[in-house]
Amino acid sequence: MYTWSRTAAARAALLAGLACAAALGAAYAAPAAAGGQGASAATAPAPVGVPAADASTAAAQAAAAMNAYGLGRAATAAEVHAWDIDVRPDFKGLPPGSGTVERGNTIWDSTCASCHGTFGESNEVFTPIVGGTTDEDIKTGHVASLLNPAQPVRTTFMKVDTISTMWDFIYRAMPWNKPKSLKPDDVYAVLAYLLNLAEIVPDDYTLSDKNIAEVQARMPNRNGMVFWKGLWDVDGKPDTHNTACMQDCMADVKIASSLPAYARDSNGDLAAQMRIVGPVRGADTVKPALAGTPAQNAAAARQYARGTLGLDGAKVAAASGQASAAGKPAAAGQASAVGKKAQELLKANGCTACHAVDKKVLGPSFIDIAKKYKGQGYAIEKLAKKVRDGGSGVWGSIPMPPHPDLGEADLKTMLEWILAGAGSQTP
């Protein structure tokens, strides 16, 4: 929400939170040496784009947090600035740059089309981005089809009201397998291409920080957002008047509905796809649901979630199904330097976000891949092309993003390890 609307107080609070987070991280990653070495946010100058008041407020609140808990050091203004990359509807935070529709088409085809379709129309994995808007919508700023119950799908351009939201999201989160890898000029180009597909700008358009406000005035749903003061303003009044009773509360939460058994593993192992930070733990959706209440299952869910990460150099028994009695690493493939190198490359290139060694996540397990291509003489060449080009159809409809920048040697190392059984005894 803070991407769309933020008061000065809320912005300062956000920066303070980021500063505290960086300080906590520094306590584990790079604690300051005795004697007070290391920069301080209180003394570092505010970088370009960060108001001095915001930076000083964040620094003061971060310092107060450290004094209270004795952790880490104050984040420098530059460290806070590295996180503060959001772009507001008034385009504050928008970096300078430009990009053409033509260049955006090129980037889209190589980087984005495998998930979103050539024309942003794909509905296989994500909701379509383009479609459902008209010239009349561009004139009025209201998308008429949103009120039509016969409209089959709501696309991104039907719903989003601010172009800054799209710029911000593409810059920080795309492409899915390599977020933050696009430069500002690339983002302008990709967004220009999408705007052209939505018939908001012409084929020869160049989008830039200088004319993006003009494009905002043509967004089809620019007048479609409802403003509730109680939700957006820090000091606003809520739009409800109910009071919390806090009496006769349920002792245990009762789940009223859940996914049917046949759909439980449709998206692979959810536990392997979730961070272990915070109270939410992903369920092992490859196996049947655990009996008992959420509270009773919490310890087992936590242990399994940690096991999917291979913490402390070894997989937890719940994750791999086997423990190392002699204290040896249970994670597959760590017995050899080649195996370690392959696993490092797979993680660095985002492969482990969709694949695991011995279970389906979003894509097939490495062991299943090894079994499928066992004995095929041209397996490495075939898979190398698949990894570089991306695509879908062999293992289902969910597409694999392309990886055109992978080095030949690194790709061969990964594929040889996978085809050898990914460290298992029986590929």
User: For 244-257, what is each residue's pLDDT tens digit?
Assistant: 777 888 777 777 77
First to last CA, the chain: 48
More confident position, 310 or 129: 129
pLDDT of 175 strictly over 80: yes
Average pLDDT over residues 1-14: 41
Residue 207 host element (H or E): strand 206-208
Taking only the tens place, the pLDDT of each residue in 317-350 is: 443 444 333 344 444 434 568 888 888 888 888 8
Taking only the tens place, the pLDDT of each residue in 87-108 is: 999 999 999 999 999 999 999 9
Rounded to whole angstroms, how far apart are CA atoms 151 and 324? 56
Average pLDDT over residues 209-235: 87
Q: How many CB atoms are located within 10 Å of the residue 330 CB?
A: 20
Percent of the chain predicted with pLDDT > 70? 72
Contacts of 240 (CB under 8 A, 6+ apart): none
Pull the structure tokens for residue 349: 């290139």
pLDDT for 170 equals 96
pLDDT for 62 equals 63
The answer to whether the predicted template modeling score (pTM) of the entire model surpasses 0.75 is: no
Task: Let me know how long the chain is.
Answer: 427
